Homo-oligomer: A and B are copies of this chain.
Amino acid sequence: MAARKESKQTRQTQILDAAMEVFVHLGFSKARMDDIAAEAGVSKGSLYWHFKSKDDIISAVLYRLFQGGLGELRQIKAMDIPADEKLQRVVQRLAIDVQAMQRWQPLMAEFYAVAMRHGSVQQYLRRYYREYIELLSAVIDEGRDAGIFHTDDAVQAAFTMTAAVEGTILLAALGLSDEGWGQQVENTLLHVMQGI
On whether A173 and B129 interact (CB within 8 A), knowing A187-B156, A188-B156, A195-B194, the answer reads no
* A136-176 contact mask (Cβ, 8 Å, vs B): 1 or 0: 00000000000000010000110110111111101101111
- Whole-angstrom CA separation of A162 from B174 in the bound complex: 13
Give how many copies assemble into the complex.
4
Q: Which residues from chain B contact A42 at a C-beta distance below 8 Å?
A: none
Chain B nearest CB, measured from A7 CB (Å): 19
- Whole-angstrom CA separation of A174 from B133 in the bound complex: 13
* Residue on B nearest A166 in the bound complex, by CB: B167
- The reply on A116 being an interface residue by CB < 8 A is yes
Chain B nearest CB, measured from A35 CB (Å): 15
* Residue on B nearest A193 in the bound complex, by CB: B195
A110 touches which of B113, B157, B184 (Cβ 8 Å): B113
A167 touches which of B106, B114, B117, B170 (Cβ 8 Å): B170
Contact of B109 with A116 in the complex, beta carbons under 8 Å: yes
- The reply on A63 being an interface residue by CB < 8 A is no
Chain B nearest CB, measured from A110 CB (Å): 4
A163 touches which of B109, B114, B167 (Cβ 8 Å): B167
Chain B nearest CB, measured from A193 CB (Å): 8
Q: Which residues from chain B contact A171 at a C-beta distance below 8 Å?
A: 129, 159, 162-163, 166
Contact of B162 with A163 in the complex, beta carbons under 8 Å: no
Contact of A191 with B195 in the complex, beta carbons under 8 Å: yes
Query: Can you list 29 A-B pairs with a CB-CB distance of less than 8 A?
Result: A27-B117, A106-B117, A109-B115, A110-B112, A115-B174, A122-B175, A125-B174, A126-B176, A133-B176, A156-B191, A157-B191, A159-B176, A159-B177, A159-B184, A159-B188, A160-B168, A160-B188, A162-B167, A162-B171, A163-B163, A163-B168, A163-B171, A164-B192, A165-B167, A166-B166, A166-B167, A167-B168, A193-B195, A195-B195
